[in-house]
Amino acid sequence: MSPIALVAEDKLTQAVLQKCIREILPNHWIVRSEVKGGRGNVQRELAAYANLSKKMPVLVGVDLDGDECAPGLLAKWDQAENLLVRVAVKEIESWVLADRRRLATFLDAPPNSLPTNPEQLQDPKLELLKLARAHAGTELRGDLVPRNFGQYPRIGPAYNLRMCSFVEARWRPRVAMGHSNSLSRAIAAMERIGAA
């Protein structure tokens, strides 16, 4: 088994990357996993992660947010050989939405109500919350959707807990990559690490 470190901007990104590592890199074990609380915090510590990548691969996951394109964002960030910075277009929720069948089942939503190309959404998290609000049962809806929908806080009280549990138990990266170019590129990068 080979070590790998993981750095994520938030808890859901951490859960998604952990699932990807388990499925795409089964011969790697996560020796360090950090949630940084925002892309800016990840960027501030990028030099330290580049240094760590001299010892082991480091997988970093961030959202595109307001940037124009992932390659443009990556060009601004210094890259080291074993430092894999992967950008979810536009948010990590687009990768979660990309496993349409499993997410539809989880939310009790008709499969055709989920977007076929979640990366084209302006706000994937909002789309997920709208689906939960329209279709999920009372308990799940109360956990995911804030009481005052459309106001702060943006997510319900157990959003991260429920969505991370969904990712861990049901989400399928290899299925989702068929509806997400940025996830497909992330998986290809992980496969290159596995082949090295």
Statement to judge: residues 85 and 110 lie in one domain: no
Statement to judge: residues 106 and 160 lie in one domain: yes
| Pair 159, 6: CB distance under 8 Å | no
Q: What pTM was estimated for this model as a whole?
A: 0.94
| Pair 106, 166: CB distance under 8 Å | yes
Statement to judge: residues 107 and 132 lie in one domain: yes
Statement to judge: residues 111 and 85 lie in one domain: no
Structural domain that includes position 33: 2-92+179-195
Count of structural domains, the chain: 2
Statement to judge: residues 150 and 188 lie in one domain: no
17-69 pLDDT, tens digit per residue, is 999 999 999 999 999 999 999 999 999 999 999 999 999 999 999 999 776 67
Cis geometry, peptide bond prior to residue 11 (ω within 30 degrees of 0): no
Statement to judge: residues 124 and 151 lie in one domain: yes
Statement to judge: residues 144 and 109 lie in one domain: yes
Contacts of 145 (CB under 8 A, 6+ apart): 129, 132, 133, 136, 155, 156
Statement to judge: residues 40 and 100 lie in one domain: no
